[in-house]
Chain A
Amino acid sequence: MVEPESGGAEGSEPAREAAAEAPKLTLAGVSVTYRSRSGDDVEAVRDVSFSIANKPGCGEIIVFLGPSGCGKSTILKCVAGLLTPTQGEVRLDGEVIEGVGRDRGMVFQAYTSFAWLTVLENVAYGLRLRGVAKREAHEAAMKYVEAVGLADSAKMYPKQLSGGMKQRVAIARTLINKPKLLLMDEPFGALDPHTRWEMQGLLVDISRREDNTILFVTHDVSEAVYLADTVFVLSARPATIVERVDLPAFTRRDLGLKSSDEFRAVEKHLLDLLYAKKAS
């Protein structure tokens, strides 16, 4: 499907090899203004445009980094289809997004495990919605439960799980739908530093194994550098893109990385971008 938009997207970015192909995700002039009941308008997102190239067979992590309350979640919700932009459009594989779809899964900061379902039933939920028989669905779900390291807890209810385990459930439950995009809204924001570390490692593993593109929202600079292939730095509200930073491919994402000079340099660069914009 060759769309006229693929030509437009090319101009905004340095010529990339992917430009010949239709980009995977394109946001064109997306603005969102919330209108509260009292009639006050809150402009959350202003004229955000970018595109993400299609790289089949390669899981990419795109991170949105911005200050609190700048409109990060709003951008993600537009991509999810939970929100229709006031202006502009979102295209996935060339098609304009209208409403939610299974091809875009979302993981929230708040724990969203269904408390009345076991871990296995939570993960199988998406399949059961489609009418897949219970046994089949549970067999398929078990693979994902194992993939996120919860095999021993498959029969437990969420109330018996730690925060990190609940987020593992949420990730597995989303992956089972094989979404093209995995949208993650500060998924590790409520976790303690150690668990956070583990979960970041898990996510990197997953992105290597599966070929979903992950859109990841955070306001933690070091998390952004650790996870991202590409970082979009956002301004304070209303969110606009300050800069797109393509990160060097860190080959060894391990414990030592975060204290390496290379990592620190990128971190500092992003911090400068965040604060330079805030000061002005």
Chain B
Amino acid sequence: MPPNEGNVPASGPKVGPPGVAVVAKSRLAARRAPESTWAIRRPVSARLRLPLAFALPVLLLVCWCVLTLGQPPLVGELFLPSPVRVVQVTLRMILDGTLFDAVAASAVRIALAFAAAALVALPLGVLMGAFEPVERFLDPILAPLRYMPISAFIPLLILWFGIDEGEKIAFLFLGVFVYLLPVVITAVRAVPEELLQTALTLGATRAQVIRTVIIPAALPDIFDSFRVMNAISWTYVILAEFVNARRGLGYLIALAGNHLKTAEVFSGILVIGLIGLATDALIRLVNSLLFPWRETANG
């Protein structure tokens, strides 16, 4: 995996309000007589939605079965284990506790690194977003960091922090921090000037403007970015655990690879995918609970 895999500007996709889409669609529909499924931005009809969602997974599964379930299989077990075998291995790892152990180890690392990164990036980002001198002072160091492949720091971090937990958490911290900071700065800058001016004319001090307007207004965007941060964290934790780990999902996959246990590698990868989906849903749920006041439409 190239180390700059995650080096994309972290901006959540802004999906338009459903109401607007419907208005635009009905206007289009009035003009164009035949209702085509392929009209631009036309929502898929309810009847097509389920088949479309399942088509590709089912197709892949069928191919997978065809390639691996023959007697003898078309592709060797070493290159592509059969789905049955992957399920068996996964069940075994669940039952003997190895999987849970690995997931827990990786999750704890992510949680610690994430908390540390947020603890530094939030106040720093608010200060940088609110006070230009602070930003101009720090930017010469922080801007280039964003374009450096974080994995290049691994040898350095090993020298500084050893080969144990410290190094892995420091690596993850760096990875998350470098993305989180610009998100915080951008979110702070995006708070409309009129909101700040309103607070000032209502008698707010500078500290009060930051505490009662800038932070609450910027938080939803920052929390949104946690979804991207979550994905980045799981990418990096695997990378970190390839080096000198004794626990964790990345360690489990690396070990299985070294011992040519391809089914276990598959199993590990699938588990990461599932965890990604689950944590993403969890973050979205938490966000909607934390910010029920949020405007969904742009207006």
A residues with CB within 8 A of B:
80-82, 100-102, 104-106, 108, 110, 112, 114-117, 125-126, 129-130, 157-159, 170, 173-174, 177, 183
Q: Are B194 and A157 in contact (CB under 8 A)?
A: no
Given contacts A102-B202, A129-B203, A177-B203, contact A110 B292 (CB under 8 A): no
> In the complex the two chains form, is A158's CB within 8 Å of B293's CB?
yes
A interface footprint on B257-299 (CB within 8 Å = 1, 0 otherwise)? 0000000000000000000000000000000000111111000
Q: Which residues of A contact B195 (CB under 8 A)?
A: 112, 114
Contacts of A125 in B (CB 8 A): 199, 202, 212
Flag if B201 contacts A129 (CB, 8 Å). Answer: no
A110 to B198, CA, bound (A): 11
A110–B201 touching, CB < 8 Å: no
A173 nearest in chain B by CB position: B202
Total interface residues in chain B, CB < 8 Å: 22
Q: Bits for B172-207, please: 1 = Cβ < 8 Å to A, else 0.
A: 000000000000000000001011011111111000
Complex alpha-carbon distance, A106 and B197, angstroms: 8
On whether A110 and B192 interact (CB within 8 A), knowing A82-B197, A102-B203, A104-B201, the answer reads yes
Q: Which 5 A-B pairs have the closest CB atoms?
A: A102-B203, A157-B293, A126-B202, A106-B201, A112-B198
- On chain A, the residues within 8 Å of B199 by CB distance are 125
Specify the main secondary structure of chain B where it touches its partner: helix
Task: Enumerate 18 A-B pairs (CB-CB under 8 Å) in ascending A order.
Answer: A100-B200, A100-B201, A101-B203, A106-B198, A108-B197, A112-B194, A114-B212, A114-B213, A115-B294, A116-B217, A116-B293, A117-B293, A125-B199, A125-B202, A126-B202, A158-B295, A159-B296, A170-B198
How close is A125's CB to chain B, nearest CB, in angstroms?
6
In the complex, whether B244 has a CB less than 8 A from a CB of chain A is no
A115-B217, A116-B217 known; A157-B292 Cβ under 8 A: yes
Complex Cα spacing A55 to B90, Å = 83
Within 8 Å by CB of B295, from A80, A117, A159, A183, lies A159
Contacts of A102 in B (CB 8 A): 201-203
Q: With the chains together, A80 CA to B202 CA distance in Å?
A: 11
User: Which residues of the partner chain B approach A157 to less than 8 Å between Cβ atoms?
Assistant: 292-293
Q: For the complex, is B216 an interface residue (Cβ under 8 Å from A)?
A: yes
Chain B residues positioned under 8 Å from A105 (CB to CB): 201-202
Does B4 interact with chain A (Cβ within 8 Å)? no
Q: Could you say which of B198, B203, B295 contacts A115, with CB atoms under 8 Å apart?
A: B295
Nearest chain A CB to B261 CB, angstrom units: 51
> Which of chain B's residues have a CB closer than 8 A to the CB of A80?
197, 201
Question: B37 at the A/B interface (Cβ < 8 Å)?
Answer: no
Measured in the bound complex, the distance between the Cα atoms of B296 and A114 in whole Å is 15
B208 within 8 A of A: yes
User: Which of B203, B213, B292, B295 has the most chain A CB within a 10 Å cutoff?
Assistant: B203
Nearest Cβ distance between residue B19 and chain A, in whole angstroms?
A: 13
Q: What is the bound-complex CA distance between A174 and B199, given in angstroms?
A: 10
Complex Cα gap A129–B291 (Å)? 22
Complex Cα spacing A170 to B201, Å: 12
List residues of chain A with CB within 8 A of the CB of B294: 115, 159
Check A114/B197 contact, CB under 8 A, given A125-B202, A129-B202, A159-B295. Answer: no
Min Cβ gap B178→A in Å is: 28
Residue pair B203, A108 in contact (C-beta under 8 Å): no
**Which residue of chain B is the closest to A83 with respect to CB atoms?**
B197
